[in-house]
Structure 1
């Protein structure tokens, strides 16, 4: 038999190597070594390997080492929530304080960081916490904080949300150690959930929106045990969860990133593709409305707000890591490589800037355009007031504890098992994986690469004996001409599939496979965001290189808070070759080894040389917020300069959504005034109030072809308001409103207001304007009101609705 296998290997050396291009790894077949979905669940094409099977190397391992050495690795020192004494997660009866989400968030990343790095200090502390959690289970199956069981935050019904998170580190510990207590613990806990009346099971708030996390653990336990009652619980869990199928039930930034996947998770049980399509539809909707920016995410600086869609709108740090996990999960469920592409886009471009390069501080919000990171209040440009931009290890309560699981989970999903007892390279980074393939042979594959900064991935195979198995390689969606070679021989690629290449052959000790993923420069135009552009090369998007001045502010000497200020100009429009925009850039590679921390200004391994012209009118707001971009192309008389762009993940200060220079008749002059901000008492995400200042006048008051803003029809006889804010005071004595009126024959249309008036902000309170000329409500024209002059930064229309809603086409406010 050994002779035959050896002869087959010799023949392979002389035969033409080949690979199949496929849309997904197979759903058919089994994997006899790793736990995937059991019947009747839909077979998952990619199966997570146990923690420890994948060992990150190079810069990725260094992210985990920095996590261990940084604030995440010392939260028991820094955070009051992570002190064991008196903590409700550590007492047998769940009494005590700080029993909500902070400790589970922390342990989810802390345990995995310790295990993947082999840090004995972290593992000892994490295990101590987890042992206390296991000991806290009550006779009824509940565990953890008593205040959660009693529903002190949830109006008397049990709050299951914190426990959903705590199950993740327990699952990791089971994968690492095989601790059987955890399976019994989870079964008892889920039996408790089965005993709850329906009206008290996931009724509202975080547990309602985030029930997909609970569903994931239910399926995990079912796959471990095969106990069918768990599928009944999964059904009830889905039925009681928020409706992510026909609606977006919450526009909170983290809820979106974490919860949109719930229908796709339940798809595994129903096998009805409409559930999967529902999750895809939610994600596409969010990106379409608020994600017309580089970096892979969307602007929702606490919540997505109608009209706040530009590149200075930011994303909460928690949302980065939650979306990365969602994408990793969906890659496993669907086998669709686009989700892995999206994980990498966020991990390499957006996530790194959420923390300092040494991972000793974080901030709450990160935006594609962000030129000052200080403690100043940036509202109302962002939703929250207070310090949201500076780096500080003591602040940003949820993100402070949750961010630590981003890099460990990313590392664990680099490689996954496939049906047919194979293995797949899912995400690319330096690493080593040891996994059983074929009949049980343990192979080791060492991945050497500088990806995403390099285009080449080298895989070295180590096996105790020749073994035949499929090796599946992800082909990123941005790569048009991948190339694979084995032992120096080109591999022929066959098939029309996209996303994966499957190399099935007999592998021997010392085999070497090389994947080349040629990365070309491309320019994305964001037509829905004032024609700004972003510049990409492979998985990386590029940002202007802005000099940084770091200032310690707050914190302690050991764990300082830090602000970052620009030392070089940032207000550039790109000069592009209209015929060949991508040809406007020159790639420069640093001829030095890749730094262990490449996500930093000074160690950025690549840059793109470009040309730009400054826009003097583009300035910071008075509070330090970057000015909003205006319509491109932009006319400017400033001279052309050479500018450098670096990978977006290397830039803490960043301009990555650029205006474009133009000198033709279509070019716009950048206004000296910052664009005003529009707020409304009620507004639809699909009907933002910003349309009232777009300068487009309708043909008449019933013009359905001209955008208009309206308050919801169901809010009849209500008092609503529409507010405009300026960065500088304006003197105002007149305003003009073009009202919508669909006519009385339209049952569900908008009507003229029952009454309306103008009020202004005097710096402390709202006041009626005086000396008004009267408030008419005209049809098919502007209703004009004059009044005694006021000087203000804020003006409102207060509107009393009639039968039906009230709508506005245009609001003019002359100086």
Structure 2
């Protein structure tokens, strides 16, 4: 039997093998005959569990990291290779029909008249980060939905950008910090150009980026990446340099990469001087700055969410483990002090402030989508399934409730515990002065535009190519992927699922001819056990521990792979946040169901001070909304934390007909629980949920029935419950 690795055989083969084994006459020749005679399409399957992808091979169909960069752990497929289905497609359609799709008609920063992004000389009254922030998502939604109107509108801005390149190689608006150019907005536009190139193969993008990066190399270090935003976010510039290097191999790009890292803020170092930490900060009650505050170069929520990964990006060139370790440490440090809350993010509001870490502190919508983008980068760099787990945690728990269900307005700050979204000022309870909690289509200028990338970028990264010419279902969601595998055969794989609400996923292979390639399925860290079947037959059961199931076989059209991820109720205690606790079921965290009353407000009367819309816009078509509670919210749960299943009941409901599960009325899973009110738990003087640390140690109120719904569907929510006896 030399040369065969048979992890699974069909029942017919197994039966015949048993018959042959009795007289002990099984030979390689006999086994070959059995394999080719038993049932068409039935193939032997090599099944294994791996922690990471083997990077000794190089994918021959898709552009991977070129030496001397570290080999690609996972490879991004070109834009359009992955198409959304189910609720993910519904999300993109709502974006198209909502704020994202119409922002070009209402945002002053997106007006074409006198816009520096459409100016040959880079001059104009309008033109900084807003256009590329919005275009990242808008254009890619057009590509994913094959919406020609959106593609054509995006092309106007892309053509303007390409035509703006000047003789020295520079392009885009002439925006300066003092005497030095601000390169930040160009970093975002490079993402847009890269997506456009993947979609169109327009070589003008390669030419523009080559000349632009040659220009950047000529800028003296003392004038390069100076100031605040661009210096902290140099990792985005570095990403684009590596993207171009992998396509051209131009040696000067590696020199520029070194220069970018050298001039980017120090995301590797610890114990910084306070003078080097330039974000606004305060310490509660005028206390001393804690020593740990010096362990990060910046505590602004968006800066951290997108820039903490820069050392891992540079690791691709340096090969030094300390750089990769620094990114993991950056992630952990901010969560150690401000992220002891459910939902995957951290309580920074605008800037993380020592002493303000209660679950009522929140995160910008910008911070959420930049965290998702960072996770997707790091998944490709490391292959570590942790980053996919975390991307799902943020995307399916924290992000959905930051936006109205119709995607026509959003709020700036979203918190795990928030029970009133109004137009009032809640500072200093949160670190922002103004109406930052209400749903408004015009506030604030960053999130208003930057939110657009969240869902389309997630869709593009659901599937990735692997170094061994396979594909991996890296992040789970209903979708279809078309990719070249094996010896170059193009296959389609349809992923049908109601994940993250259900644990069943079905993958159907489509191929013009039988082809052999490895298919990888991610095993999330939270699952109590994964089972995989092919064409109804079980291959492996009880798989636990974060990693990937590798299924290597010759696939034929119509083959079906079924992955079942065991879900159990779990209770997480947040010891550093007053021993509060949260409830999860599978990848979803659950919040108290609170009645929601939506009160319409006029946007031109409630938007923050820097909101601007185009002249003639009918703001009444774009109202704002307060959301006020109609039921009591001051409950904790009565449960056995060691055996949550004994005191919690999972109730499955039909899938919503409109394919949108992120509203209280539509959620397909509820949890029935018992709760007790805490009368002392009220809104405080700032109009925010009272802090957990101020609550009594016990409650004498009667036990009553309460309902929990997925956190992502709860725009009003209590998600971190008080530890009250």
Q: Same fold (TM over 0.5)?
A: yes
Higher CA-based Rg: 1
Once the two structures are TM-superposed, the CA of residue 28 in structure 1 deviates from its matched residue by 1.4
The alpha carbon displacement at 1:111 in A equals 0.5
| Native 8 Å contact 2:530 2:543 kept in 1 | no
Deviations 1:273-303 (A, max 9, x none): 1110001001100111100000000001110
Cα 1:515–1:552 change in 2 (3 A) is: same
Verify: 1:217 aligned to 2:223, yes or no: no
- Correspondence for 2:648 among 585, 589, 592: 585
Deviation string, structure 1 residues 344-398 (Cα, Å, up to 9, x no partner): 0000000011100110001000000000000110101101111100011111110
How many angstroms does 1:471 deviate by? 0.3
Which residue of structure 2 lines up, in the alignment, with residue 750 of structure 1?
none
Is it true that 1:56 corresponds to 2:81 in the alignment?
A: no
Aligned residue in 2 for 1:600: 663
How far off is 1:478 after superposition?
Answer: 0.3
Task: Give the whole-Å Cα distance in 2 for the aligned partners of 1:12 and 1:575.
Answer: 56
1:187-336 equivalent positions in 2, closer than 5 A:
187-247=210-270, 248-336=296-384
Pick the aligned partner of 2:132 from 104, 108, 112: 104
The root-mean-square deviation of aligned C-alpha atoms, in Å, is 1.8
Determine the structure 2 residue equivalent to 1:653.
716
Match of 1:369, SS? Answer: coil
The CA deviation string for residues 668-699 of structure 1, in whole angstroms up to 9 with x for no partner, is xxxxxxxxxxxxxxxxxxxxxxxxxxxxxxxx
TM superposition shift of 1:72: 1.2
Of 151, 162, 165, the residue aligned with 1:137 is: 165
Report deviation, 1:120: 2.0
2:207 is matched with which residue: 184, 187, 198?
184
Are positions 1:624 and 2:693 aligned together? no
1:163 pairs, out of 147, 166, 186, with: 186
Q: Provide the C-alpha distance between the structure 1 equivalents of 2:33 and 2:115, rounded to a whole number of angstroms.
A: 60
The 1:530/1:15 distance shift into structure 2, 3 A limit, reads same
The change in CA–CA distance for 1:253 and 1:584 in structure 2 (over 3 A counts) is same
Aligned in 2, Cα 1:580/1:391: closer, same or farther, shift over 3 Å? same
Query: What's 1:564 paired with?
Result: 627
Q: Confirm or deny that 1:644 pairs with 2:707.
A: yes
2:383 counterpart of 1:383: no
TM-score w.r.t. structure 2 length? 0.88
- Counterpart in 1 of 2:499? 451
Counterpart position of 1:774: none
Hey, which of these two has a bigger chunk of strand by percent? 1
Residue 35 of structure 1 pairs with residue 63 of structure 2: yes
Match of 1:672 in 2: none
Unaligned ranges ≥5, structure 1: 663-815
Single out whichever of 291-300 and 226-235 deviates more from structure 2. 226-235
Contact 1:22 1:496 in 2 (8 A): no
Instruction: Give SS of 2:116's match.
Output: coil
What's the offset of the Cα at 1:203? Answer: 2.2
Quick check: 1:544–1:656 contact (8 Å CA) kept in 2?
A: yes
Match of 1:783 in 2: none
Contact 1:18 1:493 in 2 (8 A): no
Counting only pairs closer than 5 Å after superposition, residues 466-505 of structure 1 correspond to structure 2 as 466-492=514-540, 498-505=546-553
**Alpha carbons of 1:225 and 1:296: their partners in 2 closer, same or farther (altered >3 Å)?**
same
Distance in 2 between residues matched to 1:332 and 1:353, nearest whole Å: 27
Aligned residues of 1:116 and 1:408 also touching (Cα < 8 A): yes
Can you list the C-alpha shifts for 1:482-535, whole angstroms capped at 9, x where unaligned?
000000111136999741111111101110000000111100000100010000
> Matched residues in 2 for 1:90 and 1:6: separation?
67
Q: What secondary structure sits across from 2:78 in the alignment?
A: coil
Matched, 1:409 2:457: yes
SS at match of 1:145: coil
SS of 1:89's equivalent in the other structure is helix
Distance 1:413 1:5, change over 3 A: farther
**Aligned counterparts, 1:526-565, within 5 A:** 526-555=574-603, 556-565=619-628
Q: Give how far 1:625 is off.
A: 1.1
Question: What's the counterpart of residue 10 of structure 2?
Answer: none
Tell me, in whole angstroms, the C-alpha distance in 2 between the residues paired with 1:17 and 1:417.
20
SS state at 2:189 partner: helix
Corresponding position: 1:370 with 2:418? yes
Give me the whole-angstrom Cα distance separating, in 2, the residues matched to 1:579 and 1:158.
57
1:594, CA displacement in angstroms? 6.2
TM-superposed CA distance for 1:580, in Å, is 2.0
Q: Summarize the Cα distance change of 1:480–1:592 in structure 2 as closer, same or farther, 3 Å threshold.
A: closer
> Normalising to structure 1: TM-score of the pair?
0.78
Name the CA distance, whole Å, in 2 between partners of 1:496 and 1:604. Answer: 27
Query: In the superposition, relative to structure 1, how do residues 404 and 579 fare at CA in structure 2: closer, same or farther (>3 Å)?
Result: closer
Deviations 1:94-149 (A, max 9, x none): 11112211111011111001111122221111101110110000101111112x1x
Q: 2:142 aligns with which of 114, 119, 129?
A: 114
Contact 1:607 1:646 in 2 (8 A): yes
| 1:582 positional shift | 4.3
1:468–1:578 CA distance, 2 compared to 1 (3 A):
closer
Give the Å deviation of 1:450: 0.1
Residue 118 of structure 2 aligns to a residue whose secondary structure is coil
Q: How many residues align structurally?
A: 654
Q: Which one has a larger percent helix, Structure 1 or Structure 2? A: 2
Q: Which residue number in structure 2 is paired with residue 635 of structure 1?
A: 698
**Compared with structure 1, are the counterparts of its residues 577 and 633 closer, same or farther at alpha carbon in structure 2 (3 Å cutoff)?**
farther
Cα distance in 2 between the residues matched to 1:375 and 1:592: 34
The residue that corresponds to 1:676 in the other structure is none
Distance in 2, Cα, partners of 1:594 & 1:341: 28
| 1:343 alignment counterpart | 391
Instruction: Tell me which of the two structures has the higher relative contact order, counting C-alpha pairs closer than 8 angstroms and 6 or more residues apart.
Output: 2
Determine the structure 1 residue equivalent to 2:98.
Answer: 70
Q: What is aligned with 1:787? A: none
Distance 1:564 1:421, change over 3 A: same
Partner SS, residue 287 of structure 1:
helix
Aligned pairs for 1:518-529 within 5 A: 518-529=566-577
Per-residue CA deviations over 1:192-249 (Å, capped at 9, x if unaligned) read 0000011011123111000000000000000111111101100111111100001311
Tell me how far apart the structure 2 counterparts of residues 258 and 173 of structure 1 sit (CA, whole Å). Answer: 22
